Structure 1
């Protein structure tokens, strides 16, 4: 079940929805650069992939500037409100932050500001040209895709409970069907305001005031001051080497460093000598994941509130020590218990003919985020803040003006100081694991980017809604491998051969001759376009 892998010399766009990829391609052909196209793709995804992302959510951008010859990071995640506290929730008789509803929407949406920052620093086309396609899809509608309909069915309860969601996603008391036209008039009006007035329309002025007024009227906690003070941060990406290539990830509060730690550990194993479909491969991958996640969960939070020993965690000597703790003879599973993670995310990548490259990812956290829309805005607010802990001793403890542990992690690999791979995926716990699968597929097993994305994948841990801390494997003739893994002590669940639980990945590979190869995940609605 491999998609066609397009090739090109002039540009490449890969996103989880074919309409967004088409918009990115159009922007590049109209003279825009990769940064322009990334903003336009991101805005379009906020409309046509409303279950996974939206302007009420966050985004992270990992960018290679050909002019500057360097990789640059933009952290577009929002902070908790200044009135938010653990005691406030405990006084309401709550032992944890609600997963849904207005009380789960306690962080400022950061994505709109991230668009503005990326565009003002690197963009070339006028702002309105980048937002216009998203407005068109919101005003005129688009067909409900297979993936959107599946999630609408899953979340029908939440859709029915919110006035705006019910009006948008239901017709005559029933969910809109796959292929039916989905119009988002209120969201279109909000986007039109952003197109006219820029990011300030979202973070200051009458629209913001009306949005906050609606949130407060519904019992929410965000204030005008929270929106007025929000800014994205330009950051220095983290990196490590792996067999001569340099792999880049976003720094904390992103979980990206966990993937770098995994790759450092894997350097101590002859991975190419282990068959990709063997039980030994999956055993090694899961044990590496467990080692990295233990340290991710121990430290990851907003670095403005706690020291995170990133240099130590990413040192080659530390990885060697961890590799020596992994048992291959005999094969034996180690224990680990993970926290449940959300999985709604949209990843996309763009490369232009000047050598610029943008690897970016955006999310509402859970599917349909908080499942709450401030009346009159059309904006589904994220529930990213629900991942904060009410335990004051927890590394990710809830405090005012704090960014939470973030699952979003766009990836990039440089070879010979130029972009070689751009990759990322949907999923919470699954994001570093899917990147691990793709990277080893390309760098160790000689796969193309499309072949690597199509390989059978796994996800270890508890994605949102899953009670078991298990290893879930796509079952493509892997029954015997699963049986061996269970004998070695792993708790294994075989899922369908192309299961959505392992997320939806996209990627671009650029070879040494400058040929771009684009790939979209056959598990979703994505498309890669190149020329």
Structure 2
């Protein structure tokens, strides 16, 4: 139980259903759908699409999604990959010939075909109850009326607004300025797109006027996108991967997602007495940072489009983890393992819903960097993701950019299972931090007995590109000890990531939501 003398938030307890996500309007919309007879998939779709209006710097219909879900009455966990592909004419060699060593973050080269809308339509058709017209209605309403800009959203908007270019500035600035807290942001163009999808389904987005609007803005900037690239885009169901950590199974998305990185990291941590350490001391932070360096190096080498890599077994192997754990010196930080050029960043949204029948959905939805590529379509204002920056230009690498290929993805929904029973859908936003965040969240609960809300609230640190980012929640003494161990320590300007979770306990649901975001858990 938390200390009620100190600031914090209580978990949300309910029996019939809970949504936990990063904006309260989306959480409310999801709960409304549940109360109208929709299931957890319906609620997750309604809330997620609305998040694209509430948090446009993080996500939108020009982005991708991944979902893990467990059907009602089942402990099976299914996975859907809603990530788009590079246009067929994309070529790493063409970019190398231009003298580039990485994919430009804000150019049309980084724009892969948006996969989220196809995934939303598929999930609604296959696993929902109410139909797209009901599910998209909340987002259409708020896109037309506008949403008051929330504090964390305003913080991110100011940080990332400079990315916006061309039509993006017209659609995502207010009178040419970054909106301030409380100002109303509306997206009437997106409302019209969503009305068409509600009426005509996926074809309203991937064919005809809406697709032509997206393609025209990309080709005007030198993109190689064609109508056929959009029309052919399809999501697909995949088989999750999992790994045991002291009796709890962490279930993750397979490649092209980076979920196996979290499993590898936990397998490395098994070789150390994490539970015997101070949860907020330098010893644990150091070992975790070293494990992250090694796991992320493996990710950079092996994670790619599933059709292009056969190294998943290597990443999940206990022998691999044992060899990597042996490289860690408890008394000294290693230099960062050689990193490749895949771009990583922090911007995404996550939503989780569990309903009265205990269908559980874990869904993550993103445009990658803040405001994605910064490129928006002219008529409808669809902001295009820059997921193509997840490719490398290194010749022969499994994640080398190529036409029709999916890039390595940072967004990963998570789910926990214990003794064969689904225990908790959860997610940790934060781009590159996500596998580290998954591992820390699991370790906080398993090694230190924290409840989900305490595990989310706890201070975070992350070794990223040679810098040990340590939140204010750690003491100055711990920061000094980490410096003495050889880490380059910095306090980040903003918080590290954000998380949401719902614990399932028979007739009780417990929702937890990260105070680092504007959102909450709501139930009924």
TM-score bracket for the superposition, by shorter chain length: over 0.9
**Residue number among 159, 162, 167 corresponding to 1:154 in the alignment:** 159
Aligned pairs for 1:70-89 (under 5 A) are 70-89=76-95
The question of whether the paired residues in 1 share the 8 Å contact of 2:82 and 2:235 is answered with yes
Q: Which residue of 2 aligns with 1:481?
A: 478
**Residue number among 505, 508, 525 corresponding to 2:499 in the alignment:** 505
- Cα gap change, 1:39/1:477 in structure 2, threshold over 3 Å: closer, same or farther? closer
Q: Which residue of 2 aligns with 1:313?
A: 315
Aligned pairs for 1:229-244 (under 5 A) are 229-244=232-247
- CA deviations 1:424-478 (Å, max 9, x no partner) are 122122111111221111111111111111100012113xxxxxx2110112242
Q: Which residue of 2 aligns with 1:515?
A: 508
Please state how far the C-alpha of 1:243 moved relative to its aligned partner.
1.5
Match status 1:528 vs 2:521: yes
Q: Which residue of 2 aligns with 1:323?
A: 325
Q: Which residue of 2 aligns with 1:333?
A: 333
Q: Kindly tell me the number of residue pairs found equivalent between the two proteins.
A: 515
**Residue number among 107, 110, 115 corresponding to 2:115 in the alignment:** 110
Q: Which residue of 2 aligns with 1:166?
A: 170
- Cα gap change, 1:436/1:332 in structure 2, threshold over 3 Å: closer, same or farther? same
Give the structure-2-normalised TM-score: 0.95
Q: Which residue of 1 aligns with 2:28?
A: 22
3-state SS of 2:285 partner: helix
**Residue number among 54, 68, 71 corresponding to 1:65 in the alignment:** 71
Please state how far the C-alpha of 1:209 moved relative to its aligned partner.
3.0
Give the structure-1-normalised TM-score: 0.93
Q: Which residue of 2 aligns with 1:465?
A: none
The question of whether the paired residues in 2 share the 8 Å contact of 1:3 and 1:521 is answered with no
Aligned pairs for 1:57-456 (under 5 A) are 57-105=63-111, 107-159=112-164, 161-171=165-175, 173-308=176-311, 310-328=312-330, 331-337=331-337, 338=339, 340-456=343-459
Please state how far the C-alpha of 1:204 moved relative to its aligned partner.
2.1
Q: Distance in 1 between matches of 2:159 and 2:319?
A: 45
- CA deviations 1:472-501 (Å, max 9, x no partner) are 0112242111211222222211346xx32x
- Cα gap change, 1:69/1:439 in structure 2, threshold over 3 Å: closer, same or farther? closer
Match status 1:43 vs 2:49: yes
3-state SS of 1:155 partner: helix
3-state SS of 1:422 partner: strand
- Cα gap change, 1:16/1:404 in structure 2, threshold over 3 Å: closer, same or farther? same
Q: Distance in 1 between matches of 2:158 and 2:125?
A: 39
Q: Distance in 2 between matches of 1:258 and 1:306?
A: 14
- CA deviations 1:74-94 (Å, max 9, x no partner) are 000001000111233244443
Q: Distance in 2 between matches of 1:164 and 1:186?
A: 12
Please state how far the C-alpha of 1:273 moved relative to its aligned partner.
0.9
3-state SS of 1:524 partner: coil
Q: Distance in 1 between matches of 2:192 and 2:35?
A: 27
Match status 1:461 vs 2:454: no
Q: Distance in 2 between matches of 1:94 and 1:267?
A: 41
Q: Distance in 2 between matches of 1:175 and 1:366?
A: 17
- Cα gap change, 1:165/1:194 in structure 2, threshold over 3 Å: closer, same or farther? farther
3-state SS of 1:365 partner: coil
3-state SS of 2:491 partner: strand
- Cα gap change, 1:285/1:228 in structure 2, threshold over 3 Å: closer, same or farther? same
The question of whether the paired residues in 2 share the 8 Å contact of 1:99 and 1:383 is answered with yes
Q: Distance in 2 between matches of 1:102 and 1:297?
A: 23
3-state SS of 1:344 partner: coil
- Cα gap change, 1:319/1:95 in structure 2, threshold over 3 Å: closer, same or farther? closer
- Cα gap change, 1:281/1:123 in structure 2, threshold over 3 Å: closer, same or farther? same
3-state SS of 2:77 partner: strand
Please state how far the C-alpha of 1:167 moved relative to its aligned partner.
4.2
Q: Which residue of 2 aligns with 1:55?
A: 61
- Flag as ranges the 4+ runs of structure 1 deviating above 3 A: 90-95, 337-340
RMSD: 1.7
